[in-house]
Amino acid sequence: MISLNRLFKSFGYAWKGLFKTFHEEQNLRIQTIAGLLILILAGFFKVSPTHWAILILVIVLVLVAEIANSAVERITDVLKPRINTYVKEIKDIMAAAVMLSSIAAIIIGLIIFWPYLAAWLGQN
């Protein structure tokens, strides 16, 4: 049986984690602002529902990658005294995951916005 009390507590913990990460991680704040600007741009160009879905998906992908990166960094910082030779590699690998998701998001954004931007510039 589902316990609503436990469910609400779980959501509370998730929000705490999100706010803590947002407060402590500059890159997450930058990526969030970039994502919001993209959504404003999507509204301005009145992109199709499919494009909205794709944009939201890639924005969330980048944010989730950054939050996962932050979590792994904290875990590796705890392990640092015992396994210090791998800590830098682990952090670099997670940073690569964030970078790849960001590059993919930029490419997808360019693919989606290029026709809208070209049409808009053609009218002006």
**The predicted structure's pLDDT at residue 83:** 67
Domain extent, residue 108, equals 21-123
Rg of the chain over all Cα atoms, to the nearest angstrom? 19
**Spatial separation of the C-alpha atoms in residues 114 and 111, rounded to whole Å:** 6
In a domain, 7, yes or no: no
Helices (H), 1-124: 4-24, 26-45, 49-79, 84-123
Place of tokens 């009390």: 5
In a domain, 6, yes or no: no
**The predicted structure's pLDDT at residue 54:** 98
Q: Is the pLDDT of residue 48 over 70?
A: yes
In a domain, 3, yes or no: no
**The predicted structure's pLDDT at residue 64:** 97
Count of domains forming the chain: 1
In a domain, 67, yes or no: yes
Kindly report whether the global pTM for this prediction surpasses the value 0.85.
Answer: yes
In a domain, 14, yes or no: no
Q: Buried (b) or exposed (e) across 31-43, using 16+ Cβ within 10 A?
A: bbebbeebeebbe
In a domain, 68, yes or no: yes
